[in-house]
Amino acid sequence: MTSCAKINLTGVDHSYYQKFHHEKSWAWWLNHIGTFVVFIISFCGNLLCLLVLCRQRLKRNSYTQYLIALAIVDTGAILCEALKALDEVHQYQNADKRTLIQHTLMSCKFYYYIRYIFYSMSSWVTVALAVERLVAIKFPLWSKHICSVINARRILFLILLFTMMIQSYHLVIKGIDCKPSSSPFSQPTAAKSSCRCKTLPDYAAVEVILTVYLWRLCLMTLLPLTIIITVNILIMSKLFSGNSLNDHTNAVNNSRRKTVLLYKISRMLVIVSSIYLVLHVPGSSFEILKFMFLNPYRLCDTKWRYFMSIVHDIFDLITNFNYGINFYLYIISGQHIRTELFRTFRPAKFRSTINEQTAKFQRSSYFMSSYVHHSKNNQPNCSHLQLSNRLTGPSV
């Protein structure tokens, strides 16, 4: 393979080389500034999400456990993205390219390990949430036993163990590399300040197999895409079928109300998982294609590399939006989440007044129903008396 560093640059290539390495593109600045904005939006949204979902009224639902876990891992993922963007901006602003965070060997390994756990958890919690909704909709009798809070926590714990096991290779292949960068068009530096927390050169082939093909291609793109699309189609076919609620028309009002709420919650979560695919899959697919064209085939055309870097920055920002908009989707598509949000931030005096009125109404309803029930029980059965008199005759 020919090294790009040995290729003579034409005038056009040299101008794109300057843009690619020294004059950061508009997409690069948009990606990094946008990541900071998304981090602020995500932090506020996920904090509100935890405040609302951890209330007693919602915490007893199984799907709430997945949404709480999703808010936590999304916050961790966007925090890692913001730190990475801040470090890259800091390197660009400094002539010696010094990194903002000076890692030790162990902090470097655990930084990548925890970071990729957040990414993986965000994807597979969404998959588990979609499957849980399918069980609740298609198999309502089973859902009483399967879709419980305890089982949801067990599934989340298994997902955590699975991602910890899958990402454990980062504890081996990551380290501190103080050698000059071997990337194309790179400028060699030997200063100690240029040490990077990155994949060690000896494990470059291992990272290709585990990170690109196993993790990104299979576990983060193909499997979640297949499962979520299949599950969402099955859920939507149930929700929009003509007989979806006909089975409950003669049921008790309370049972019908619960069924309607179940369908509304499922519709909201279908929207959430579908938006996840729209925002995540294009960027992940482009990362795989970019690796296939740039690294194995040594695409040395600086013009193509420049335009691919622009597309990469745009897709990267779109993917980061995925970590910050879930709560806002809940608010838009879920009326019960909006109601609970208003209850959370309702003034205490107004909330106590509403509670007193509700309690009075419940007491009055209870007394009224008790009075009616008591009157019905103590009402004399006239037909029975008349019948008994006719049979026995007047008493002497």
| Residue 23 pLDDT level (bands cut at 50, 70, 90) | low
Residue 286 lies in a domain: yes
CA-nearest of 13, 3, 1 to 182 is: 3
Residue 5 lies in a domain: no
Q: Where are the beta strands (DSSP E) in the chain?
A: 174-177, 196-199
Mean pLDDT within 96-106 = 82
Residue 392 lies in a domain: no
- C-alpha span between 105 and 84 (Å, rounded): 18
Specify the range with the lowest mean pLDDT, choosing from 12-16, 163-167, 269-273: 12-16
pLDDT in tens, 194-242: 688 899 989 988 998 999 899 999 999 999 999 999 999 999 888 887 5
Write down the residue that tokens 């959430």 correspond to: 272
- C-alpha span between 149 and 147 (Å, rounded): 7
Q: Are 103 and 171 in contact (CB under 8 A)?
A: no
What pLDDT was estimated at residue 184? 45
pLDDT in tens, 300-356: 667 777 788 888 899 999 999 999 898 898 888 777 788 888 888 776 555 555 455
- Alpha helix positions (H), 174-301: 204-207, 223-239, 253-294
pLDDT of 88 > 80? The answer is: yes
Residue 202 lies in a domain: yes
- C-alpha span between 334 and 161 (Å, rounded): 31
Residue 43 corresponds to which amino acid?
Answer: F
- C-alpha span between 131 and 291 (Å, rounded): 32
Specify the range with the lowest mean pLDDT, choosing from 158-167, 174-183, 205-214: 174-183
Residue 13 lies in a domain: no
Residue 365 lies in a domain: no
Residue 37 lies in a domain: yes
Q: What is the pTM of this model?
A: 0.78
Per-position b or e across 156-178, b if 16+ CB within 10 A of its CB: beebbeebeebbebbeebbbbbe
Q: Which two tokens stand for residue 130?
A: 């979609």
What pLDDT was estimated at residue 232? 93
What pLDDT was estimated at residue 369? 40
CATH number at residue 204: 1.20.1070.10
Mean pLDDT within 74-95 = 90
- Domain range enclosing 174: 26-179+193-239+254-346
Tally of domains within the chain: 1
| Residue 256 pLDDT level (bands cut at 50, 70, 90) | low
Residue 7 lies in a domain: no
